[in-house]
Amino acid sequence: MTYQQQAQAAQAVPSTNQKTINLQQLGTYLDSWADIVEDMGDKEQQVRQEILKQLLDRNMPEIGLEIKQGSVDLLGNKRREYIVAETDPAVHVLICARKHGKDLFVNWRTSIASKWNLDLLKWVAIIAAGLGLFTGGIRQSSAFYGSSSTSFSLSGWIFATIVILIIEAVILVIAGKQIKGDQLAYFFQQVNLFDAEDISALNLSVHKFVLRALDNTGIDVSKLRIKQKFSGGRRGEDL
């Protein structure tokens, strides 16, 4: 099922059957916008559906769109409905249109979570295991008449592998600090220029078409807060 089909299906089913997303696990704040629309609280559902329609019509590449129930506790007892846009690497945009008394609260918020750099860490583990095998796992012992025999020590292999992993980790920490200014830079995936451009495009698209959806539902967007800056896709970079 495509993301568009998922979003359309989510729109058609009761909220209790929609997927739940833990908002505490979305990572670091990146960008946002919000405003209150006076006396428009009754348009909550209409605005939400129009936002989803506008975003689906854009056919944004490699973007997942789905209505989900957001929770902030382990049991998920308290939930709120969001339109969720997702893209790599671990980027989520939560879009909210919710009744707030007589008024309508409209908000979007972008977060980015850290993802392990599995490609690099896999090779780190392979190298450690290989070196550990030859330095601690395989042992040579002398026998009679000048001959020798080879034996394998599981405990020796494990101990040597752990020591080498620690040494490799220290090297990566030093290299990350010296080269990239972040001691954990090599342990987690970094947002490259292409990723940053895609995140920027997503934020701009969400903002523009949220405003268009509001306009299409009879809300005067000229009275809303103007957003001056947008994140450039990486923390500390603005457009």
Q: What is the SS3 assignment for 72?
A: coil
Per-residue model confidence (pLDDT) at position 10 = 45
For residue 84, give every residue at least 6 positions away whose Cβ sits within 8 Å of its Cβ, in sequence order, or none: 21, 64, 65, 66, 67, 68, 70, 92, 93, 94, 95
Q: Tell me the per-residue pLDDT of 128-154, one tens digit each, with 9 for 90 and over.
A: 999 999 999 887 766 555 566 788 899
- In this prediction, residue 177 has a pLDDT band, given cuts at 50, 70 and 90, of very high
The domain locations on the chain are 3-115+193-223, 118-180
What's the CATH fold of domain 3-115+193-223? TATA-Binding Protein (3.30.310)
- In this prediction, residue 109 has a pLDDT band, given cuts at 50, 70 and 90, of very high
User: Is residue 227 within 8 Å of residue 207, measured between CB atoms?
Assistant: yes
Check pLDDT > 70 for residue 15.
Answer: no
pTM of the model: 0.78
- Tell me 16's DSSP state: G
Q: Which tokens is 232 given?
A: 């450039």
Round to whole Å and give the CA distance between 21 and 44: 21
- Lowest average pLDDT, out of 20-24, 33-37, 53-57, 137-141, goes to 137-141
Task: Assign 3-class secondary structure to 32-60.
Answer: EEEEEECCCHHHHHHHHHHHHHHHHHCCC
**For residue 61, is the peptide bond before it cis, meaning its omega torsion is within 30 degrees of 0?**
no
Tell which residue, 196, 197, 198, 207, has the closest CA to residue 229: 207
